[in-house]
Amino acid sequence: MTFFEAEYDIAVVGAGHAGIESALAAARLGCSTVVFTGTLDWIGNMPCNPSIGGTAKGHLVREIDALGGEMGKAADATFLQSRMLNRGKGPAVHSLRAQIDRRDYSAYMKHALEKAENLDVKQAEIVSLDRREDGAWLLTTKLEAQYAAKAVILATGTFLQGKIFVGDVSYAGGPDGMFAANDLSASLVKLGIALRRFKTGTPARVLRSSIDFSALEQQDGEDPVTPFSFETTEQLKNTLPCHITWTSADTKRVILENLHRSPLFGGKIEGIGPRYCPSIEDKIVRFADKERHQVFIEPCGKNTEEMYLQGLSSSLPLDVQLKFLRSIPGLEKVKVMRPAYAIEYDCIDPLQLGMTLEFIDIPGLYGAGQFNGSSGYEEAAAQGLVAGVNAALKIKGEPPMILDRASSYIGTLIDDLVTKGCMDPYRMMTSRSEYRLVLRQDNADRRLTPIGRRVGLVDDGRWARFTARQEQMERERVRLHDTILPPSEALNALLVAHGTTPISTGIRLEELMRRPRLGYAALAPIDTSRPPLDPLVAEQLEVEIKYEGYIRREQGQIDEMRRLESRLLAPDTPYDTIHGLRKEAQEKLGKIRPRSIGQASRISGVSPADVSVLIVWSSQNPKGASEE
């Protein structure tokens, strides 16, 4: 017998990385919020790699932090080892990555939810979602408790109709031995939501003492440690190393001999797997010419002996897993603590969503994370933050937070999902952004903290620290421009020592900074007037001065893009009646209902000629289009 327990502004279903950011954002914006999770003990769980960041993903974490989210702070508080990736490349692709203590991270996030004002945390499985006559949502739990909410955010991860595969064995289940959510999918289908099946997987966890580390290459963290959060000021320290090994010819042989026992190749798995994070059996088949594949052996925490084998995701039977693991140098006597598995789950086609992550045809219902067809903790957290903010802003009667492609990797991620859709689990990469020199991780606070302040996630103290850094940056920019150094023996000796041309006339400090081999560190002996600088200020200035011309060119492209983004299209635009649009364009535009002509131009099947037709039509029909 059901009973009604409470009413909220916003309900969040799921307390993984998307649900956490959704719930915190909504509560911090003053909305009464409840977040439901299958078990309180696995809030913020990392069922796959216990790491945060990586190529492009580190950008997302920095952006989440700049907007006022929690992931960056949690990563800084619980990391084991940190490294900046791609140091040998340009600053556009520098990406921070940290190995995380997975249990500490989960405990940190659980406590953050528990401490948050306006937020209740409930251990309960939501089995149905219905619309009440008054327009509010009614959520029913497995224990027949009911809750009402003005808005609902679905952040169900891989739990919806979750199914585990290990060789010939398959059963209903969620990640890490948890229960699947088997009832909610039917309720969503009744609401008119189209579901589909995706698949992901994870490697085995093995016992540290069963690894021969003498056969491995040690990979230490980077000092000094660069934090994820712009608010982290204390010096962080690496505590544990990672290690590297490679698969062998025997590994390849064992896997190929047992491919017939793989549910992936045997057709038992229906879901579509991640293109950019394939299983080891998939890699062996797809890259048949490669003799070996790299394996990273990473700690799961400081108080556990479990080690994670990055690069060895698999759904092969346990006996085959043991054989191929023991064919790898350093793992000849390895003991498996948790076997590798694949998991198949329900998710949506994100073309059903708008840029706020609200369902186009179901007002008050939002999606976030793997439920939207993406993969990765960072992608999930970014969507969760955007969904939580927009649900709260809608309830408060305020304008939505729309992040465009030129504002952030978060904007690129969401635009890709809701405009282009995805045929396999979406993963953020630097190559997905056409504006990556502007969207660097070092300047995420300059790009997004003002937006976080506008919506209400950045408090007075943080705003004061941010504005102080910006003022310091402007003063230093002026100093670098105005300071002229005369030629001298000391200066020319320094220039020659750094492999750059000596000078015969005075030169601005700004011009010296533009030289490839020079920066603040190199110029310190002769730049005696430099005031103490915040490291964030120094890093951003050095990059922006060196790449000023390229940044200016990219900014021109952004200005043109935003010109089209500012030409809005009404949700009820009658595309099927617009003369000159091709049939395919009419169908795609009618389905996706783009927010602007800019978004329309990025829809697959909409040609430049169709965009020209839309521009002309919008000029002639001001009621159907407007400018921001």
pLDDT at 129 over 60: yes
Residue length of the chain: 628
Return mean pLDDT, the chain.
95
Q: Which residues contact 542 (CB under 8 A, 6 or more apart)?
A: 513, 519, 520
Q: Supply angle C-alpha 565, 570, 571, rounded to 5.
A: 110
pLDDT, average across residues 218-233: 96
Q: With the C-alpha atoms ordered 549, 550, 552, 557, is the resulting torsion angle positive or negative?
A: positive
- CATH-assigned architecture of domain 479-550: Orthogonal Bundle (1.10)
Q: Of the candidates 213, 204, 236, 232, which has an alpha carbon nearest to the alpha carbon of residue 47?
A: 204
Given this model, what pLDDT does residue 627 score? 45
Q: Which residues in 570-601 are b (16+ Cβ under 10 Å) and which e?
A: eeebebeebeebeeebbebbeebbbbbbbbbb
Please give the structure tokens belonging to residue 291: 């003799």
**Residues forming beta bridges with residue 198, ordered by sequence position:** 272, 345
Given this model, what pLDDT does residue 626 score? 52
pLDDT band at 302; cut points 50, 70, 90: very high
- Look at the block and give the residue holding tokens 């994670």: 308
Per-residue DSSP letters for 3-24? EEEEEEEEEEE--SHHHHHHHH
| 323 residue type, one letter | K
What are the domain boundaries of the chain? 3-199+345-455, 205-342, 479-550, 566-627
Q: What is the pLDDT of residues 427-447, one digit of tens each?
A: 999 999 999 999 999 999 999
8-state DSSP, 135: S
3-state secondary structure of 156: coil
Q: Of the candidates 381, 285, 543, which has an alpha carbon nearest to the alpha carbon of residue 21?
A: 381
pLDDT, average across residues 461-484: 96
Helix (H) or strand (E) holding 558: helix 548-565
3-state secondary structure of 166: strand
Given this model, what pLDDT does residue 628 score? 47
| 532 residue type, one letter | P
Q: What is the pLDDT of residues 269-296, one digit of tens each?
A: 877 877 777 899 999 999 999 999 999 9
Given this model, what pLDDT does residue 624 score? 60
Which three-class secondary structure string do you get for 570-595?
Answer: CCCCCHHHCCCCCHHHHHHHHHHCCC
8-state DSSP, 2: -
Helix (H) or strand (E) holding 612: helix 608-620
Given this model, what pLDDT does residue 250 score? 97
Burial of residue 91 (number of CB atoms within 10 Å: 0-12, 13-18, 19+): buried
Given this model, what pLDDT does residue 127 score? 98
Residue 237: CB atoms within 10 A of its CB come to 12
Q: What is the pLDDT of residues 583-627, one digit of tens each?
A: 999 999 999 999 999 999 999 889 999 999 999 998 888 766 554
Q: Is it true that domain 205-342 has CATH number 3.65.10.10?
A: no
Alpha-carbon distance of 615 to 610, in angstroms, equals: 9
Cis peptide before 224 (omega within 30 of 0): yes
Alpha-carbon distance of 172 to 182, in angstroms, equals: 8
Superfamily of domain 3-199+345-455: FAD/NAD(P)-binding domain (3.50.50.60)
pLDDT at 336 over 50: yes
Given this model, what pLDDT does residue 623 score? 63
| 336 residue type, one letter | V
Alpha-carbon distance of 315 to 262, in angstroms, equals: 6
Report the share of the chain in percent with pLDDT over 70: 99
Q: What is the pLDDT of residues 373-409, one digit of tens each?
A: 999 999 999 999 999 999 999 999 999 999 999 999 9
pLDDT at 519 over 90: yes
- Look at the block and give the residue holding tokens 């698969």: 247
For the domain made up of 566-627, give the CATH fold. Answer: DNA polymerase; domain 1 (1.10.150)
Q: What is the pLDDT of residues 145-196, one digit of tens each?
A: 999 999 999 999 999 999 999 999 999 999 999 999 999 999 999 999 999 9
8-state DSSP, 160: B
pLDDT, average across residues 34-57: 96
pLDDT, average across residues 441-455: 97
Alpha-carbon distance of 594 to 428, in angstroms, equals: 22
pLDDT, average across residues 497-518: 94
